[in-house]
Structure 1
Amino acid sequence: MSKNILVKAIDVTKNYGQFCALDKVSLEVARGEVCCIIGPSGSGKSTFLRCINLLERMDGGGIWVNDELVGYRREGNNLYQISDAQISYQRRRIGMVFQRFNLFPHMTALENVIEGPVHVLGEPVKEAQERGKAMLERVGLADKANHYPSELSGGQQQRVAIARAMGMRPDLILFDEPTSALDPELVSEVLDVMKDLAASGMTMIVVTHELGFARNVANTVAFMEAGKIVETGLASEVLSDPKSARTAEFIKAVHS
């Protein structure tokens, strides 16, 4: 794998019974790049993210992150599933921001942010707290460190979730429709944090319906439908001059 490629997916397949959720999906994402995945609901976008992060086991193909095959070990020509402990180890360097925040309700914002560094990375609590406060300051929530999720708006909760993902020092952060559960007036505060993160050089794969964000921030865009990547390329080209009629139809429908 080229040293510039951080994520490489080849022919990834995922089935749920008779339903094919992913049908030989292939994609490359370079280090420091923002890739936005767009497409209609049910097209396999979130499933693909979950396969990268090992929340779903793929049925075929392979995904490499940092030159490491995720979810499997290779012996000769054979692949073997790795253990849950090994999966947890691989997952440490892949952050994930979910649609519904997924914060621990009984923990403060700061406690949510330091949970992973302390209990997964083994950082001393004091050191993790200092870094956690810095992460919260970076997302504009320095004054909310001791607030519980129920005391925060949806946008603030999502920013805590981004700080939590950053706290693990990941090589890659996956965003699964991070603004879709937010009231419209709260969307921009989350997108602004994501723009800042992108500007800092973080590699990001973002499933989103926010085409303005994709146009302004993404390096590349992939359009998915029915478990396949229909079109992929530079964001400016895919969003302004798509080669696929189906991509053009989708973009027009979202903008109309």
Structure 2
Amino acid sequence: MSNDIIVKAVDVTKHFGNFLALDKVNLEVTRGEVSCIIGPSGSGKSTLLRCINLLERLDGGAIWVNNELVGYRREGDRLHEISDVEISQQRRRIGMVFQRFNLFPHMTALENIVEGPVQVLGEPARQARERAETLLERVGLADKKDHYPSELSGGQQQRVAIARAMGMQPDLILFDEPTSALDPELVSEVLDVMRDLASSGMTMIVVTHEMGFARNVANTVTFMEAGKVVETGLASEVLSTPKSARTAEFIKAVQS
């Protein structure tokens, strides 16, 4: 596998009972790329992210991150599931930003960012705190470092969540519809932070309905429906001249 490819998914399959959530999904993301995944609700977009981040076990296929097989260890011709400790080690390099922020309610904004580097990476507290303060300044929340999540707006909480993901110094950040839980007037402040992150060269996979963000920031766009990849390609091509009639129908409906 090329060193430029940071994520490679091959024939990824996932069932929830009798429901086929992912049906032989293939995806490649190169280092420094912003890859947006679009599609209707229930199409498997979030499930794919959760599989990349080892929050869900695969039922078929395989995923590599940084040329390392995710969730399994190969011994000869056989694959063996890795332990929870090994999963945690793999997950360290993959940041994730959820729809509902998932901040620790009993911790301040600063403490939320410091917790992972200190407890998971073993970083000295002073060093983690200094970087956390820098990250809060970067997302425009330096003056909110001692505020608890309940004292912050939804947009501010999501910006803290992004700073928290960045605090782990990941190779890749996954965004699962990061603006879907926000009031419309708060969406832009989160998207602005994501644009800044993209311009810095961070590799990002973004599940989103924000077509403007996908059009202006994404390198590639993948359209999914019913657990399958219907179309994938350069953002400019997929969003302007989609090959699939179903992709065109979805984009028109979302933009109208």
Aligned-residue offset at 1:17: 1.0
SS of the aligned residue for 2:61 comes to strand
The 2-side partners of 1:211 and 1:81 are apart by 38
The 2-side partners of 1:232 and 1:81 are apart by 30
| Structure 1 letter corresponding to 2:83 | S
SS of the aligned residue for 2:132 comes to helix
The 1-side partners of 2:59 and 2:77 are apart by 17
Q: Say whether residues 1:233 and 2:233 are aligned partners.
A: yes
SS of the aligned residue for 2:249 comes to helix
Aligned-residue offset at 1:3: 1.0
Structure 1 runs of 4+ with >3 Å offset: none
Aligned-residue offset at 1:129: 0.4
Aligned-residue offset at 1:255: 1.0
SS of the aligned residue for 2:43 comes to coil
Hey, what does 2:40 align to over in structure 1? 40
TM (normalized to structure 1)?
1.00
Hey, what does 2:80 align to over in structure 1? 80
The 2-side partners of 1:201 and 1:255 are apart by 28
What aligned pairs does 1:143-222 form with structure 2 within 5 A after superposition? 143-222=143-222
Hey, what does 1:101 align to over in structure 2? 101
User: Any stretches of 5+ residues in structure 2 without a counterpart?
Assistant: none
The 2-side partners of 1:249 and 1:78 are apart by 43
The 2-side partners of 1:241 and 1:254 are apart by 15
The 2-side partners of 1:213 and 1:171 are apart by 21
Hey, what does 1:242 align to over in structure 2? 242
- Write the deviation string for residues 159-195 of structure 1: whole angstroms up to 9, x where unpaired: 0000000000000000000000000000000000000
| Structure 2 letter corresponding to 1:198 | A
Q: What is the root-mean-square deviation of aligned Cα atoms in Å? A: 0.3
User: Any stretches of 5+ residues in structure 1 without a counterpart?
Assistant: none
The 1-side partners of 2:186 and 2:196 are apart by 16
SS of the aligned residue for 1:242 comes to coil
The 2-side partners of 1:173 and 1:39 are apart by 20
% same residue: 83
Hey, what does 1:124 align to over in structure 2? 124
Hey, what does 1:223 align to over in structure 2? 223
- Write the deviation string for residues 54-105 of structure 1: whole angstroms up to 9, x where unpaired: 0000100000000000000001110000000000000000000000000000
SS of the aligned residue for 2:35 comes to strand
| Structure 2 letter corresponding to 1:197 | L
| Structure 1 letter corresponding to 2:63 | I
Hey, what does 1:28 align to over in structure 2? 28
The 2-side partners of 1:53 and 1:138 are apart by 25
- Write the deviation string for residues 41-64 of structure 1: whole angstroms up to 9, x where unpaired: 000000000000000001000000
The 1-side partners of 2:211 and 2:153 are apart by 24
SS of the aligned residue for 1:185 comes to helix
The 1-side partners of 2:136 and 2:56 are apart by 30
The 1-side partners of 2:88 and 2:13 are apart by 22
Hey, what does 1:112 align to over in structure 2? 112
| Structure 2 letter corresponding to 1:47 | T
What aligned pairs does 1:127-142 form with structure 2 within 5 A after superposition? 127-142=127-142
The number of aligned residues is 256
